[in-house]
Amino acid sequence: MGFRWMALAFGIPFFLLSILGIGALGFLVVRFRKRLSQISDTKLARIGKLREGTRRVKGRILAREELLSSPLEARECVYYRLRVDEQRTVTHGRSVRTVWHTVIDETETIDVVVKDETGEATVSLDQAEVVLRDVKFTFSSILKDPPARLQRHLREKHGRSHKEAWFNKTMRYTETVLEDNTPVIVVGEVELHKGKKPLFVGGDNPLIVTDKSKDELSGHYRTRIFWSYAGIVVLSVFVLGLATILIGAGWWADRLVEGVTGGDGQAERERQEQAAREQHARQAEVTECVQLLKGADPGKRQTAAERLGRMPLLPNRRDEVAQALDPLLAPTNPPATRTAAAFALKTWVTKQNQWSLIKMLQRQEPYYLDVIAALGQINDKPAGDALAAELDNAPRRSEVLAALRHQPSAEFCVTGRLRSATDPQTRIMLCGVLKEIGYTMSAAVLEEIVKNPNDPARAAALDALQVVKTRK
């Protein structure tokens, strides 16, 4: 496969996402143009003379049942829409950013009619696209609560709270309201039934209800058409630019390999062949070392372990090497042999080595740094518990903490120790550890400590909790 095709293959996910984005924006353009055409092409009619088909009327919206009360401003209305967005932190590697995530999008309507001087027509508001001038905003943050009425509405109707633990969430609240007796324009399909009022419904053409003028409503959809086209242009330029860059880079890479700049590809082939020879040699060396580890000569076993410690990991041989190294950790072996085996397991360790490593750690042998580093790569509770127990050993604490950062089960082990610990200094120290490695599980334990004003570790827990919450 040439480099230009490899470059294009690399760009396929970006192309697909961009094409999907262009398709979605194209759909929006068609949708908004259809609404604009519907508004512009439909003549204004009198309600008393309505016939079936797409019609546009102008009148006042009137309730035919008990009015609603909007949750944000307690305004009496025939329609409201409440949208609640929550600010969240998203982490990708070392990059941290905040985004708004919609958690509630609520719409409520009642039975209504539109009335002019010639008659009334029923409007199916629950099927309508309601476009309104009046939009109200408010927000909540650490120092600001939302209105009490809104808090009660969120709790009783949606089972949600604006708080998380003791702190307010950062949220924004948007409300649009259509009040009774408001002048409106209604555009949509009309159905006539004998003995009943004309009925506006959503059909092949959407049902639109608005308190804006015809020109304002047309401008509303023209603005959305403009920004949709702008998005299509930006994404199209991105796709063409990316394709040009990738194809150009691939073309030049192919030319270089083909020898246009002074070679004929022989150097690249030689590099590939050399890499294959080195890989074969490493495989052969691992085979030789494993055979020596299984032999009876202590000196050769030590030498083999030292060689393995200096070699890069070969994933397909990891289990085999780890199994051969494990017997060398027994206390019956010479110290130099145990040291070499622990050093090699920093590279080759698997779960099957954890109990031998734990016993070495408990024996307080002088080469504990390699043992701690190896245990830190084992994602299993016994290994995590053993490392957590070593946090009491002040000279080893920095090495243990570094190992715990790389062990997925470490948080569970440290929080377990914190729950059971009674010594104040130990609890304060463990809160400091969770500040370095903690996530969601740690937050729950730290919150329990913060709630207890008499706990000596409360200040350390509060300090850790503020850091841990940023990692959620």
Report the distance separating Cα 366 and Cα 166, nearest Å: 46
Q: Are 409 and 387 in contact (CB under 8 A)?
A: no
DSSP annotation of 53 reads E
Report the distance separating Cα 193 and Cα 272, nearest Å: 80
The residue with tokens 């050093």 is 343
Task: Summarize the confidence of residues 154-172 as an average pLDDT.
Answer: 85
DSSP annotation of 118 reads T
Q: Are 345 and 328 in contact (CB under 8 A)?
A: no
Q: How confident is the model at residue 121 (pLDDT cuts 50, 70, 90)?
A: very high
Task: Summarize the confidence of residues 270-291 as an average pLDDT.
Answer: 88
- Residue 395 has what pLDDT? 72
- Residue 61 has what pLDDT? 95
Query: In the numeric block, which tokens belong to residue 422?
Result: 């009674």
- Residue 372 has what pLDDT? 80
Residue range 66-83, pLDDT digits in tens: 999 999 999 999 999 999
**pLDDT above 90: percentage of residues in the chain:** 25
Query: In the numeric block, which tokens belong to residue 205?
Result: 């053409």
Q: Which of 306, 409, 280 is nearest to 351 (CA)?
A: 409
Its pTM surpasses 0.75: no
Provide the H-helix boundaries in 144-265. Answer: 148-158, 214-258
Report the distance separating Cα 407 and Cα 374, nearest Å: 10
How far is the first Cα of the chain from the last one, in angstroms, to the nearest whole number?
A: 42
Report the distance separating Cα 214 and Cα 201, nearest Å: 20
Q: Are 47 and 60 in contact (CB under 8 A)?
A: no
Residue range 357-386, pLDDT digits in tens: 888 888 777 767 788 888 888 878 888 778
Give the torsion sign (CA, 180, 182, 188, 191).
Answer: positive
Report the distance separating Cα 155 and Cα 173, nearest Å: 15
Task: Summarize the confidence of residues 204-220 as an average pLDDT.
Answer: 85
- Residue 262 has what pLDDT? 47
Query: In the numeric block, which tokens belong to residue 159?
Result: 């089972």
- The top-scoring range by mean pLDDT among 11-15, 16-20, 63-67, 465-469 is 63-67
Residue 127 vs residues 42, 44, 101, 453: alpha-carbon distances, Å: 19, 21, 25, 54
Q: Which of 331, 360, 333 is nearest to 345 (CA)?
A: 360
Task: Summarize the confidence of residues 422-442 as an average pLDDT.
Answer: 81
- pLDDT over 50 (residue 438): yes
Q: Are 139 and 86 in contact (CB under 8 A)?
A: no
Beta strands in 39-111 (DSSP E): 53-63, 68-69, 76-77, 79-92, 95-109
Mean pLDDT is lowest, of 12-16, 226-230, 382-386, 463-467, for 12-16
What is the average pLDDT score of the chain?
84
Q: How confident is the model at residue 251 (pLDDT cuts 50, 70, 90)?
A: low
Q: Residue 171's beta-bridge partner residues?
A: 86, 140
